[in-house]
Structure 1
Amino acid sequence: MTALTAGRAPKVSGARASDGTGVAPRRLGLHVFLSAVSLLWLAPLLLAVYASLRPYQETAKYGYFSWPRHLSFDYYREAFTQSGMAQHFLNTLLIAVPAVLLTLFFASFVAFCIARVRIRGGFLILILFTAGNLLPPQVMVTPVYELFTRVPLPYWMSDSLTMYDSYWGVIAIHVAFQTGFCVFVMTNFMKALPEELREAAIVDGAGVWTQFWRITLPLCRPALAALATLEFAWIYNDFLWALVLMSSGDKMPVTSALNNLKGQYFQDYNLLAAGSVLVALPTVILFFILQRHFIAGLTLGATKG
């Protein structure tokens, strides 16, 4: 027994170093590299937070990379009140939340028809949705603007009696541009679901709506959570379509609130930094809240079993 065990060399994992330190040099180098890239990526945000806590006179005299003499949250209070950020936050929610819900609702329907029902021409439909998503939005600014100024809406939906200068128009354009990407992701996700689930549901007499709403959609929660996080961040940070399709300042989203912090003759960059941090804060909070679901949705299917 001793001879047999003595002749077998223990297997050393690739994650273990041969010198007994417990960390392989390659893994240590990878951690150092990822940490450096993370700090480099966060450097602009950290500099903005640092500048927003200092008076502009101090940074103008000593520079942005100098040691602080005075730190306070005065700029945050001033940025929030001076820009009317509360109203703009509400405007953004009125645009982003319905746009995300409608995008996921329509995309899941289309993906279900392509991946599970397998309608005729489904692959062509998927190609069209994906190709439409690759079209640059800037190319369609002029035709979309002309179209929205001519599409009528009742007075209770739009003050201009058209889709122009209304929340409905901005929501519609976001849904139109974001649905293609969501259809592509949801179709691939639903194709990975076991076909036996749908077959068992058909045997039990379940209709198409039951197969979609009660069987398929609950299994897609990780993908829906990941897409909801991405779509909310993209729509929340958009400024192009609101600028093109809206003219009333009190309807603009929160990204436009930073324009209210610009002076005519003097520009306080520290105040702008505080406003930028306030604008970015909701998306950061949302990511941390949905972080577990977001990572699960992105990594689902990366491993077998």
Structure 2
Amino acid sequence: MRTTRSPWFHAVMIPFTLLWLAPIVFVLFVALRTFDDIATRGLGALPAALTLDGFATALAGGQVATALANSAVVTVCTVVASLALAAIAAYALSRHRIPARRTILLVMLAGNLLPPQILLIPVSRIAQGLGIYDTLFALVVVQVGFGLGFYTFVLHGFMRALPAEVFEAALLDGSGPGRTFWSIVLPLCRPALAALAALATTWIYNDLIWAMTVLQTDTKFPITAALLNLQGGYSSSWNVIAAGSLVAAVPTAIVFFVFQRHFVSGLLVGSGK
């Protein structure tokens, strides 16, 4: 049954919504202003005229486009590999009698509790020792390694909540572990996988610290590192920096809106139990 929101709810939420939108609108106005207008009247002034010169300058030379492509490759590969490995590990730990499986799960989760700052030098040295330093593959490996524990922990709890009758029926039908996982468990885990995919995409796409740790060539930088270079090259051209930031924010916004329904349902899984 559809519920009606109280007018007080809208009265409280509208100011919060406007407060949340204010920085985005501010950055958009800065991106649409000219350099001379900003230099003369300051960042806080309303634009005297609107122009797309900031976007044209940010996209000139192909640096931002190359960085977006690098970010897309790293993000897609990392999300697919992380969720695939996490789903397999969670299925094994939740549905099979593995010795010390609770300890294994806690050890995997404990890796996410370590501050990344203390691991920067070891990760860089390991990447160099393996011969993968300054490659997108190294960044994918690092992202998978540091996200796998959390994804496995979340999926483990979700899979343990699945009805035991489903697995008993599959066993009576002669379904093996592999077929049960592919045909039953994965479809039932779609909300959780979608929610994790949206979160992982945002985390990986917006990451800067690991990109600066295992990469050094400008043409291999993801969009976050490229924006840092853009700020260095156009330290006073705030319209260019704002335009580049808006361009970089578009992919994650698209992912969130595409997975919005699954993301919300994934967060609410188990809330009624």
TM-score above 0.5: yes
Q: Which residue of structure 2 lines up, in the alignment, with residue 150 of structure 1?
A: 129
Give the fraction of aligned pairs with identical amino acids, expressed as a percent: 40
Q: Which residue of structure 2 lines up, in the alignment, with residue 47 of structure 1?
A: 26
Q: Which residue of structure 2 lines up, in the alignment, with residue 225 of structure 1?
A: 194
Q: 1:116 aligns with which of 88, 95, 99?
A: 95
Distance 2:176 2:141 in 1: 30
**Contact 2:123/2:213, CA 8 A, preserved across alignment:** no
Higher relative contact order (CA 8 A, sep 6+): 2
**Contact 2:227/2:244, CA 8 A, preserved across alignment:** yes
The size of the alignment, in residue pairs, is 271
Give matches, 1:61-210, under 5 Å.
61-82=40-61, 84-151=63-130, 162-210=131-179
More divergent stretch after superposition (262-271 vs 240-249) = 262-271
SS of structure 2 residue aligned to 1:150: helix
Give matches, 1:247-266, under 5 Å.
247-262=216-231
**Contact 2:234/2:241, CA 8 A, preserved across alignment:** no
Q: 1:245 aligns with which of 193, 214, 231?
A: 214
**CA-to-aligned-CA distance 1:71-105 (integer Å, 9 cap, x gap):** 12221121111461111111112211111111001
Give the counterpart letter for 1:210 in structure 2.
R
Structure ranking higher in helix proportion: 2
Question: CA 1:112–1:182 in 2, change beyond 3 Å: closer, same or farther?
Answer: same
CA RMSD of aligned residues (A): 1.9
**CA-to-aligned-CA distance 1:40-92 (integer Å, 9 cap, x gap):** 22322221111101113223333333332101222112111146111111111
SS of structure 2 residue aligned to 1:149: helix
Give matches, 1:16-27, under 5 Å.
27=6
Q: 1:269 aligns with which of 222, 238, 241?
A: 238
Structure 1: 5+ residue stretches without partners: 1-14, 16-21, 152-161
SS of structure 1 residue aligned to 2:129: coil
Q: Which residue of structure 2 lines up, in the alignment, with residue 156 of structure 1?
A: none
Offset at residue 267 of structure 1 (A)? 1.8
Structure 2: 5+ residue stretches without partners: none
**Contact 1:48/1:273, CA 8 A, preserved across alignment:** yes
Distance 2:73 2:261 in 1: 26
Give the counterpart letter for 1:271 in structure 2.
V
Q: Which residue of structure 1 lines up, in the alignment, with residue 265 of structure 2?
A: 296
Which TM-score applies when normalising by structure 1?
A: 0.83
Offset at residue 110 of structure 1 (A)? 1.1
Distance 2:139 2:191 in 1: 27
**Contact 1:83/1:260, CA 8 A, preserved across alignment:** no
Offset at residue 118 of structure 1 (A)? 4.0
Distance 2:190 2:120 in 1: 34
Question: CA 1:121–1:41 in 2, change beyond 3 Å: closer, same or farther?
Answer: same
Distance 1:81 1:265 in 2: 13
**Contact 1:110/1:183, CA 8 A, preserved across alignment:** yes
Determine whether 1:58 maps to 2:27: no
